[in-house]
Amino acid sequence: MILAGARPVVLVALIATPALAQRTTDEAARVAAVTATPAYFAAPEPFEALPAGAATRRGAADGRAFSMPSAHMGAERLLEFHLGDAVFGKLWVTAPSATRASDGLGPLFNARSCQTCHPGDGRGHPPADLSPAGSRLGMVLRLSVPASPDQIAAHLATIPGHRPTLPEPTYGSQLQDRAIAGLAPEGRLDITYQVFPVPLAGGEVAHLRRPTYRVGDPGQGPLAPDAMFSPRVAPQMIGLGLLEAVPDADIIARADPEDADGDGISGRAAMVWSVEVQAPALGRFGHKAGVASLREMVAAAFATDLGLSNPLFPDPAGDCTAAQIACRTAPSGEDPGLRDGREVDGATLDLVTFYTRNLAVPERRAPADPQILRGKAVFNSTGCTACHNPKFVTARLPDRPEQSFQLIWPYTDLLLHDMGPGLADHRPEGTASGREWRTAPLWGIGLTEVVTGRASYLHDGRARSLLEAVLWHGGEAQPARDRVVAMPPEDRAALIRFLESL
């Protein structure tokens, strides 16, 4: 849906986001009306079948469902999308190489292409079996050590509540499990699971698996004694440009860090340091909302996952530390006469950012189905919408027509929430604690297995079904989780059916 008829407004600049138009009083009232909770659930809401507004891709429900461009994109911009798609899927090679436009990989890396981590532009997953050689697509291990008191004080002076950490001294900010010829990978991520039952009302039983992680075969000795690590699967890619277009003020307005309304939900806005603009900004991307903009997110992935220098992260050695001398002295793909001197130049970075910004959200499946409508009512009455906020209206963006002034249904508030000890990684990131995670968007979640061939959910893919994902919720979400456990089986089935329709 495109909201029409708004009056001219004054542009204001917000850090690390596009120039946003301040809404008039009448316009703000209309936005409040269309994003309000419905009074009944006997029928779908207007435009509910189009979760991305006019950008929604209709009829996309197969393995390509997450790889389609915004539906109302013009021909010239569609060409730019496909060029970005080509770079996203390109296999990078070791430098020096005859294919100078594609060299510079590593020296240490996790993948040779962006697409490797995001199969079908969907989410990554842990190994398919319990062997170290099991299939793992798009799963990495983040590493860090605590900052010193002086460094913490300096960060707090810039960003209140910031919890700075430093890269692990030997292995950097991420375990690299692949390397160019002549170098050894840093190690591998080993996972073991303990399966345990969770009794549910009505005689049903769910089985959750609790993961334990360790670094296998660390190539340069053990990690630092105070090392913290956090496993992450790559998130799905759809709708990211629309999330970037949600006004900062609309996200911050939903925050309630002190739980002033007493509902037990204490969402916090993530404030992070933006490398792109060299200033504090609202974080909204990543499992802990640690990145402010899509361009920075793409640049960081090039640098850390593939070891490719770019305008925002110019080190050609990628995540190699000072202790990794062979890595730091390996040949790079930088060439002063090519690609602005970087392995990924600004134009290429912008193409992939454009592609990422315009991966379309597929339309809803059967929103009028009676069981789905019942599940929607259960979703609301259980309290899920306290964090998984159904609707936003994006800002007016004259230079981004695909994302401009759309009613969207992402089912996220883009805030940080304490999810309890079961999901805690005990590793702070930015202003997020070791128990906090950004509310994950739910749009498209019902097509996860169709797109990637695997049903895996949560930040580390431990959940093998949507019900398992719900049952791992704790902390602020504990009361809602307990209601799911206690509800009649038919209500639980309707709830899952609703989630599958998103």
Give tens-digit pLDDT for 159-184: 887 777 899 999 999 999 999 999 99
pLDDT of residue 156: 75
Q: Phi first, then psi: give them for residue 207, nearest 5 degrees.
A: -125, 115
Q: At 430, is the pLDDT very low, low, confident or very high (cuts 50, 70, 90)? A: confident
pLDDT of residue 137: 78
User: What count of other Cβ atoms lies within 10 Å of the Cβ of residue 276?
Assistant: 18
pLDDT of residue 148: 85
Q: What is the mean pLDDT of residues 318-333?
A: 96
pLDDT at 484 over 90: yes
CB 407 within 8 A of CB 34: yes
Q: What is the mean pLDDT of residues 232-248?
A: 97
Give tens-digit pLDDT for 12-58: 333 444 445 578 888 889 999 999 999 899 999 999 999 999 999 99
Give tens-digit pLDDT for 1-21: 333 333 222 223 334 444 455
pLDDT of residue 318: 96
Residues of the chain above pLDDT 70, percent: 94
180 burial (CB, 10 Å; 0-12 / 13-18 / 19+) is middle
The tokens of 23 are what? Answer: 């809404």
CB 76 within 8 A of CB 285: no
pLDDT of residue 17: 46
Mean pLDDT of the chain: 92
User: Residue 369: left (phi > 0), alpha (psi -120 to 50), or beta?
Assistant: beta
pLDDT at 298 over 80: yes
Give tens-digit pLDDT for 329-377: 999 999 888 878 999 999 999 999 999 999 999 999 999 999 999 999 9
230-260: b or e for each residue (b if 16 or more CB lie within 10 Å)? bbbbbbbbbbbbbbbbbbbebbeebbbeeee
Give tens-digit pLDDT for 47-96: 999 999 999 999 888 999 999 999 989 999 999 999 999 999 999 999 99
Per mean pLDDT, which range of 153-157, 313-317, 323-327 is the poorest?
153-157
pLDDT of residue 21: 59
pLDDT of residue 483: 98
- Gap between the Cα atoms of 144 and 146, Å rounded: 7
Give tens-digit pLDDT for 205-234: 999 999 999 999 999 999 999 999 999 999
Beta carbons within 8 Å of 50's beta carbon, 6+ residues apart: 1, 56, 363, 364
pLDDT of residue 197: 98
pLDDT of residue 98: 85
Give tens-digit pLDDT for 372-403: 999 999 999 999 999 999 999 999 999 999 99
